[in-house]
Amino acid sequence: MRNQVVNQDTDSVKLSEELQENNMLLGYYDVSGEGITITLKDANKSTIKTAIFTDPNEFVVHDADLMEVVNALKESGAEAISINGQRVVDSTAITCLGNVIQVGGEKVGVPFEIKAIGLTERLYGGLTMPGGYLDKMEKAGIQVKVEKSENIVIPKYNGVSQFEYAENVESR
């Protein structure tokens, strides 16, 4: 019955399409497409042993590192991003919890697998440019691997989007 109403009413069809597009933008659907996968691991023991007068924290992937990579991906045109299977949306917090990192309320650990969907060459170039953030991480001893892919799958966002303080100006 719903299908009949939607099929007969062009305004309903447009609204349904708009709702579907908005839900996709908000991360409420699993998505797939071309893109890149970045794997980050803490420095290996041999790198740490050969370092002289260096802060041991420099050899570990931190929450700030993941945020930098996510921001670089967004700047490079990523349409969807996940970290260890957790979809990253605008409200996703990335925070440190001792030896693990929390992404959107879920604990994730090393290795960190960051997937991004977008124009592969643009994403790859934006992340692997000399002097860029991944280059600096590699020089500090962090293990970095970037792979291009024709078919990346990123799961939907499973959290709840809620506004406690913001309200629609038009509804006042």
pLDDT digits (tens, 9 = 90+) for 90-131: 889 999 987 789 998 899 989 999 999 999 999 999 999 998
CATH pick for 30-157 out of 3.10.129.10, 3.40.50.10860, 3.40.50.800, 3.30.70.1880? 3.30.70.1880
3-state secondary structure at position 109: coil
Q: pLDDT at residue 89 above 80?
A: yes
pLDDT > 90: percent of the chain: 47
pTM of the predicted model over 0.85: no
Cis peptide before 56 (omega within 30 of 0): no
Cis peptide before 130 (omega within 30 of 0): no
Residues 34-54: tens digit of each pLDDT: 999 999 998 876 555 455 546
- Pseudo-torsion of CA 25, 27, 29, 30, nearest 10°? 120
Instruction: Over range 63-90, report the average pLDDT.
Output: 95
Q: Where are the domains of the chain?
A: 30-157
Tokens (6 digits) for 133 = 């953030």
